Structure 1
Amino acid sequence: MAVLLSGPVVPKVVPVSQFESAIIANHATVAGRQDWRFPRQSRLLKTDEYSSVFNFRCGHSGRFVRVYAKPNQLMYARLGIVVGKKELRTAVARNLAKRTVREAFRTNQHNIQSLDIIVRIMKPFDKTNVLQVREELLRLLHKSKRCLGS
């Protein structure tokens, strides 16, 4: 049995912060459609890429996460995530942390140009703190634009 839909299916997105609400408004008009993907080109994959960002030494800390940033020669931002087993002992907790970081970056990546970013989880959090972590991460991503001038 086929189900017919009356219009395009659009994912519901509830703005969490002032930064994210502006991004959602801008993002809805990209090429007349929404592009919510997180492609391979938007990720830091190699050890050398991680090392160069850490060695650049431009970082900002929050209560739960630390964000390192380095300008790149590309026209888009790339993300790397570091989650240690000492901070989050279970795989479930580590995966929640990575999903939270990826989602915040994915919905905000069009606002961050030409930066390689590494997010390091510094303090454990769970489902009850996800919104606080997301808000903090968006604030730190916004601050990391200062690394472009270095």
Structure 2
Amino acid sequence: MHTIEYEAKVLGIDPDAMAERIKAAGGIFQGERLMRRYVYDTVPPVRGRWVRLRDSGGAVTLCVKTISSDEIDGTRETETTVGSFDDTHALLGLMGLTHRSYQENRRSSWRTGARPGCWTACGWRLTRGRVSRPTWRSRGTTRTR
């Protein structure tokens, strides 16, 4: 339930060139999916902690993210799978949580041998053996803490 998230940003990569490199290395395109997220402040608000509801295109999860430092292992997630993105969003509203932002991005997935790889059209991220570049669309009020 408690996991440490290791995340690094990789800048200056051409998505089309990377897709060609993955394909040339034997990568097989697995498809593209829409990912949606609501982000909420905790009640009461705590600096460096928030709630995230995410539909990854295959599973819907609810988690509390806590940042203890800016180090690569400084973010902890407490996460569980939930049944419905829309129903969970409505339930969180009934519990008094108001979302501070809504975000969408598309993620294209590739399989390279035994390890999955992901990329999207803009902005790269390496996470657990996957590479992704989110294309963001945000709605609603966005505040930073």
- State the TM-score, normalizing by the size of structure 1: 0.29
TM-score (norm 2): 0.29
| Bigger strand fraction | 2
Q: Which has the larger share of helix?
A: 1
